[in-house]
Structure 1
Amino acid sequence: MRRRLERAWASYIHDQVQPEAPRDIVTSWQRSRRAVSPLRAAAPVDDPDETLREWQSSLLYAAAKPLLAEMKRAAEDQDLIVGVADASGKLLWTHSSRHMQRRAEGLHFVPGGHWDERSVGTNALALALRTAKPSRVFSAEHFLQAVHDWVCYSAPIRDPRTGLPIGVLDFSTTWQKANGLGLVTATALARYIEARLEGYGYAAVFGPPTPLAPAPLQLTLCGEAAAYASNRRLELTPRRLEILAILALCPQGLTLDALHAHLYGDQPVSLSTLKAEVSGLRKQLGGGVASRPYRLTTPCAVDALEVERRLQAGDVAGALAHYGGPLFCTSESPFLSEWRDYLASAVQAAVASSDDAELMWRYTLKGAQAPGDFEVLLRLTQLLPARDPRLALVKARLERLLGESGGV
């Protein structure tokens, strides 16, 4: 299996041949290729002392503390490295066997190391955060060649209220020691930490969402994408609407090269063409777009950011009310496609965790097609009363999904 994966990886990286690999790995490779070199030797890393203070003051530490001694012993006895990362993919704590320690330090799989997809490409930790589901990445399924000797098992640590990941637990070792129990163990321990989080009152960390201040520019991206100024719809070309969406979702600003990558990916489009599009957008907005870095200077309210904000605050119903459907579904922009997948998965996970039949029913009306829709529909068939007329519709859609997937 390892040799086959190595060949698939090499063909994809060097010859751009569509690889024969699991779908989630292939799509992650595609995203990773736009963000990081496959020859990167190690993850970027933050100051370890500052990371230690961050870890020791976190609720993740308080909830995981009773398990730390047990996880240390497991790492030493089974020649593993174990780590806990936050929601951004930054490692807050690790412990490793003597054999794995040198390898971990060489790759910066250490406290402060950034193991999100944009930093190091495809890996189990990043996939678990992205999908809110346990993930295993074996050998050359990793995007970085430097990690091809590893197998990693990661399980998200989810907010008990929303189902959104607030961290991740990872077990890693060399590929020769791959074990079917690795993912089961990581998942079981992550669930224990989640139960402890609920006991520590994680729900109190985020207060109720505060209303957004009125903004002169309004941008709807969930469902039909459109921009409004002073309650008047702006007649923007699809490309300029994409640029506006990217800038609105990146308030910190972007260099010209980064904006180009976010918008076009690997397409052979010149920077001068992009500059002309930005200039046209600036004229239509009457200003409001700065350069160096490229950013919006006009306040902009974005429904996608409101959905994310309400999910973080535990307001699943409010998030669903603002979620009109998949984000900018006509766009092929790599950045917007990534946001589309992220937001769809986040809403689906939150709705599935609610166990609220009415929320689940409203979700089905959005026409969403997140990977976990089967889970929502199946649970809804269990929650709806037998005589509820909606039950037949839910079952019909469930059967259609089963037919499309070839059964389970």
Structure 2
Amino acid sequence: MNDWDTLRARERMLAGEPPRGVRPPIGESWSRARRHGLRPDAYLPPVPLGEDDVRERRDGHPLAAVWPVLRNSLLGVTADPANLLFLSDAEGHLLWLNGEPASLVRAERAHLLPGALWSEAAAGTSGVGTALALRRPFQVRGAEHFLSAAVDYTCTAVPIRDPTGGDVLGVLNLTCRRQQHEAMVMSLLVTSARLAEAQLRGIRLRELARSRERYASRLSRLVGAHAALVAADGAVLLANPTGWLPRRVAPPRQGDQVLDDGRPVVVERLAAAGPYLLVADRSVDRAGLPVGFAGLGRHTARLVLAGAPHDLRGRHSDIVAILLAHPEGMPARELCPAVYGPAGRAVTLRAELTRLRAVLGRRLASEPYRIVGESRADFLDLEREVVDAPVAELLERYRGPLLPYSRAPGVVALRERLHERVARRVLASGDAAAIRRWRSG
């Protein structure tokens, strides 16, 4: 079909007739654009992203690493002043552009500029939008564009995919005014996109290797637990024991999660963009039973979880005591000084929480850190009843200060508060025998 026939078909479509006389993908795209309510003669695509927004999206986008390769591999094409190279994100926002300054200025009149949105819903039939809609390379020639402002251009677009998961990351698009090199342009763009995907694959493999090296020690500390290091896209980097998970799981999220095979796990994010630590939740079968904590007069605490006793290490005793005293939860910035003092490091705290999660499972929640579900603690129960309990019973239950050897600031504060309240209650009771017992104590 020549340009004249396409123009006539477009005019009939704009007059309200069903799309006829054009390639089927173009007719289908025109129909979608009409359903979106776009007005081709009085409309330009929106520009929802300002300069700061574009800069922020570029900085955080995986295609930022491959844009230089794409730009350099297509220098021969963009040397023609009539040609413009665009790279969009997966939503259709134009983020990167390359071309002669005069051509870029002309293109701005059609909103071919950074921050503009060229999805089909926003711009109708176009290289970027229709390639995204079809999820394959596509070319839109002249009058095949839905918007009148774009009919002077031919746009050749190729999606670029995440080589790990296959998701479309963005679209590489070459826009030109001349059409004599259409077949060659498509071949060049496909080759450049595959080169970019190969580079992304290499970057990904290096990132995974670094994650394995950096976080492998986390797994080694979880003795007896089924645990795994998982990337943000669900790729299993390391598993202990080997084989308890498949090579890929659903993308993890912080907190409790149920895998596709029905197994419950507790997930902790180790870094802002992953990876994640997955620990099989072995307590879920009896998760309704309360957590029991005994720390009065004990060097380290005893925890009863799902009916089974656990003698905690000193630092874990501190953490659980502090969290039980703060049922609303504590973010890491508050919990860290409560456990270690002002010189404490968040990375040390998170390592201890990782080991503690092997015992607590889903009962240890994050963001903020807290003990979920019903719980009982001897020091908290006694503090609640210190005013009303008989003095003799009070002394019987107060087996000694809370974790007396702990130096954690949060535990010291809890210990001193309870000891002071018990002392006041005993001394104010007037019970001579109880007072002598307290003072001999």
Q: TM-score, normalised by structure 2?
A: 0.45
Higher relative contact order (CA 8 A, sep 6+): 1
Q: Could you say which structure has the higher helix fraction? A: 1
Structure with greater Cα Rg: 2
